[in-house]
Amino acid sequence: MSVALPTLTGMPEPVEAWWARRQFSRGTDVPYAVGTYRAEWSSYPVLVRQYHPDLNSGITLTQIPPVAEVFLQWQCDVGHVFVATPAEQRARPGRERRRSSWCPECAALAVGRTPRAAGSPPKPKRPTKPLCGKTPDLPVGTPFVSACAPVPASSVEAELRMELAARLAFDETPNAVRLAQPFFEHVEAWPDILLPELRVAIEYDSTGRHGLEHVGRREQADRRKDRLLRNAGWEVVRVRTGKLQPLGPHDVVAGALSKSLYGRLLDELRVIRGPLLVDAYLR
């Protein structure tokens, strides 16, 4: 009598073994059709470019769930070939906004160190920075002018602000909201645009030049920022471009800034705060 061996779960496995197991469990030669996960991977254009089916037994990236525990081969723009799971690749973007962040070998070379050898102890974590003391002692949820907020540098954000101001009367002076809990080293958040009269924050999101913005760990930070703002009595509307998927219930997906987009934003504000309040501020 033969006894089936239990399958190890939660452990990454080679793509060939992972695919064969899916073929067996689903009873078909093609357990996931080409294009099944195209939408899920569309927010990661760099990973789409790094992945080559010929390095992964002919299986396309759109046939692999982003949460699959499977070892895949990737090739960066320089030519480095390396192995990583989908979760490892999606989590690579961090504080460094360099194209090399997507490749472990390029990232190591960029900071002048060699990659950590397998089995060697991890590098000690940096000590946690103390909270900034410049945030004024204000009630939670109060909008104010922060001395720490970065200067807006995006021309697209400036255009979005100008077009909203042409349609809606709001105080453009505040650039921060007092939070109840710390967000990194501050107890304040700096949304791209604040509508104090409606207590709504507008964020403009794109993947950026190197596909690093608002994905991976940056997406996790965006979600945390949104939660803290909502806990402070504000709502968040994110304008998501570059095939980024919505994070919250009121996010607006758009290809570019347009007249129709501003109409959709006003409609979403009406959903959040009601047409009577929003229309009272229309120009």
**pLDDT digits 0-9 by tens, 91-117:** 887 665 666 778 888 888 776 655 555
- pLDDT given at position 116: 58
The predicted model gives 36-46 an average pLDDT of 88
- pLDDT given at position 42: 86
The predicted model gives 183-212 an average pLDDT of 91
Percent of all residues in the chain with a pLDDT value above 70, rounded to a whole number: 88
- pLDDT given at position 148: 94
Higher pLDDT, 64 or 43: 64
Higher pLDDT, 169 or 76: 169
Query: Distance between CA atoms of 44 and 146, rounded to whole angstroms?
Result: 33
**pLDDT digits 0-9 by tens, 120-149:** 666 666 666 788 999 999 999 999 999 999
* Other beta carbons less than 10 A from residue 91's beta carbon: 16
The fold of the 143-279 domain, in CATH, is Endonuclease; Chain A (3.40.960)
**pLDDT digits 0-9 by tens, 47-92:** 888 898 999 999 999 999 998 999 999 998 888 899 999 988 888 8
- pLDDT given at position 122: 65
Bridge partners for 81 per DSSP? 75
CA 18 to chain centre: 27
- pLDDT given at position 123: 61
**pLDDT digits 0-9 by tens, 211-254:** 777 877 788 899 999 999 999 999 999 999 988 889 999 999 99
- pLDDT given at position 76: 87
- pLDDT given at position 125: 61
- pLDDT(18) > 90: yes
Domain spans, the chain = 13-110, 143-279
- pLDDT given at position 101: 78
- pLDDT given at position 153: 76
- Cα-Cα-Cα-Cα dihedral of 210, 215, 221, 227, to 10°? 140
Instruction: Band the pLDDT of 118: cuts 50, 70, 90.
Output: low
- pLDDT given at position 124: 64
- pLDDT(255) > 50: yes
- pLDDT given at position 110: 72
pTM confidence score: 0.69
